[in-house]
Structure 1
Amino acid sequence: MASPNLEPVSTAADKAKLGAAAVVFIAAFGAYYALHAQQTWLRVVALLILLVAAAGLFLIAGPGKALIAYTRDSVREVRKVVWPERKEAIQMTAIVFGFVVLMALFLWIVDKILEWGLYDMILGWKH
């Protein structure tokens, strides 16, 4: 038995809207190249108008509405975040950079020790 909260993935109308959006999207680029004899600004305007139309068709379909809802929820959650003060952010950034420098130095030292041990001591190769 299906849960009453579940919605169908797509209705026939949503599929038609998404198909129309795809056709208009492809037609936008087709129109751009079909108008090769026209001025560039006219080709770009035609491209932008058709791309906006394709985006509009997508946004009125079910997946587009879900994307809008997801974006609104994401913005709402970002507003809840407590961002660090400038001083704290600078201090944490300095700590991260310092740690990166120390790790780079440590790895360089380990590399040189392994190089010395492997090449000079075991293989007898002198640089």
Structure 2
Amino acid sequence: MNAKTEVSGNKFDGAKLLVAVLVLAVGIVGFYYFSDAITVVRVGGLLVVAAVALVIASQTEKGRGAIGFFKDARTEVRKVVWPTRQETIQTTLMVIAMVVVVAIILWFLDMFLFWAVRMLTGQGG
């Protein structure tokens, strides 16, 4: 059997991902290094650096795959049929009722086991 491995993407994808990680790391270090600056400026700078790192990473095969995944996920979320307000309220009330029923059953089970242990140990009357 002869198995060929297909290499997709560019041979520089690894280097691009490394550059993206380094850019992001420099941004994080800069965020803490300039701790005396106004917080809004620091956060803005960090967001710009993160955007640059994402743009660099999106130029790789893995980056394009991740972007495609998120687009597909967004499409699937749009297909979801969300429950109406009345369905949500009814389901919530059913869950609350079942929690109360199970709590009462466990309370009676606990009382029975407490009574049984007291009888077995001779502490009950």
Shared fold, TM over 0.5: yes
Letter in 2 for 1:106: I
Bigger shift: residues 109-118 or 52-61? 52-61
- Corresponding residue of 1:89: 88
TM-score computed with the length of structure 1 as normaliser: 0.77
Cα distance in 2 between the residues matched to 1:96 and 1:27: 49
CA drift at 1:54: 1.4
CA drift at 1:24: 0.7
Bigger shift: residues 106-115 or 54-63? 54-63
TM-score computed with the length of structure 2 as normaliser: 0.79
- Corresponding residue of 1:39: 37
Contact 2:13–2:60, Cα closer than 8 Å, also in 1: yes
CA drift at 1:2: 5.5
Letter in 1 for 2:122: G
Contact 2:10–2:60, Cα closer than 8 Å, also in 1: no
Cα distance in 1 between the residues matched to 2:6 and 2:93: 49
Cα distance in 1 between the residues matched to 2:28 and 2:11: 26
Cα distance in 2 between the residues matched to 1:107 and 1:65: 52
Cα distance in 1 between the residues matched to 2:32 and 2:102: 53
Which consecutive residues of structure 2, in runs of 5 or more, have no partner in the other structure? none
Percent identity (aligned): 34
1:97–1:60 distance in 2 versus 1, CA, 3 Å:
farther
- Encode CA deviations 1:29-50: one digit per residue, 9 max, x unaligned: 22223334x5224433332221
CA drift at 1:106: 0.8
CA drift at 1:13: 2.1
CA drift at 1:76: 1.6
Alignment of 1:1-127 (within 5 A): 8=7, 11-36=10-35, 39-41=37-39, 42-118=41-117, 120-125=118-123
Which consecutive residues of structure 1, in runs of 5 or more, have no partner in the other structure? none
